[in-house]
A and B are shown apart, each in its own frame.
Chain A
Amino acid sequence: MKKGIFLPMLAIILLIIIGTLGMIFYGDILKSKNEVVGEKSAEVINFITESELNYFYIKDSARLAWCDSLVDMSSGKNIPCIYNDYPIWDIGINKNEECDPADYKRRFNAYFKDNFEKYLSRKNISFEYDLDVNNKKILPKNNVEFEKQIGKLSIQSRQNPIVNIELLDNFDDFEVLLYCIYKEGREECLKEIGAKAVFSDENAKIYEYKSIKNPCDLKDINIVFGIEKTLAS
Chain B
Amino acid sequence: MKLNKKAQATAVYGLFAILLIFALLVIYWYFFVIPTANITPSKESLVAQEKLNYDILLLNYLKTPVTVNENEIFMSDLIRLYRKDASYKEKLKEESLKIFDKTMDKKYSLEIDGDKLIGELEKSEGSIISQTQIPGNENIVLELRI
What is the interface of chain A, defined by CB distance below 8 A to chain B? Answer: 2, 4-5, 7-8, 10-12, 15, 18-19, 22-23, 26, 30, 33-34, 36-39, 41-43, 45-46, 48-50, 52-53, 56-57, 60-61, 63-64, 119, 122-123, 213, 215-218
User: Can you give 29 contacting A-B residue pairs, CB < 8 Å?
Assistant: A4-B12, A7-B13, A7-B17, A8-B20, A11-B17, A19-B28, A22-B28, A23-B32, A30-B32, A33-B39, A33-B41, A34-B41, A37-B42, A38-B45, A41-B48, A43-B48, A45-B45, A45-B51, A46-B51, A49-B59, A56-B63, A56-B132, A60-B76, A61-B135, A63-B77, A119-B135, A216-B73, A217-B84, A218-B81
**Distance to closest chain B CB from A115 (angstroms):** 10
Task: Give the size of the chain B interface in residues (CB under 8 angstroms).
Answer: 50
Complex Cα gap A45–B41 (Å): 15
Q: With A30-B35, A216-B80 in contact, is A8–B17 under 8 Å at CB? A: yes
What is the interface of chain B, defined by CB distance below 8 A to chain A? Answer: 6, 9-10, 12-14, 16-17, 20-21, 24, 27-28, 31-32, 35-36, 39-45, 47-49, 51-52, 55-56, 58-59, 62-63, 68-69, 71, 73, 76-77, 80-81, 84, 132-136, 139
Chain A residues in 8 Å Cβ range of B68: 218
Q: Inter-chain contact count A-B, CB under 8 Å?
A: 122
Interface of B, helix, strand, loop or mixed by DSSP: helix
Complex Cα gap A122–B45 (Å): 31
Chain B residues in 8 Å Cβ range of A18: 24
**Distance to closest chain A CB from B4 (angstroms):** 12
Complex Cα gap A26–B63 (Å): 48
A48→B52 contact, CB < 8 A: yes
Question: Which of these, B20, B31, B39, B133, contacts A123 with CB under 8 Å?
Answer: B133
Interface centre among B6, B42, B59, B135 (most CB of A within 10 A): B135
Question: Which of these, A19, A36, A57, contacts B27 with CB under 8 Å?
Answer: A19
Complex Cα gap A46–B47 (Å): 10
Complex Cα gap A195–B132 (Å): 44
Complex Cα gap A23–B33 (Å): 11
Question: Which of these, B16, B49, B73, B135, contacts A57 with CB under 8 Å?
Answer: B135
Looking across the interface, which residue of chain B has its beta carbon closest to that of A33?
B41
Chain A residues in 8 Å Cβ range of B16: 8
Complex Cα gap A96–B125 (Å): 61
Looking across the interface, which residue of chain A has its beta carbon closest to that of B78?
A218
Chain A residues in 8 Å Cβ range of B35: 30
A39→B44 contact, CB < 8 A: yes
Q: With A15-B21, A53-B132 in contact, is A218–B73 under 8 Å at CB? A: yes
A19→B24 contact, CB < 8 A: yes
B56→A49 contact, CB < 8 A: yes
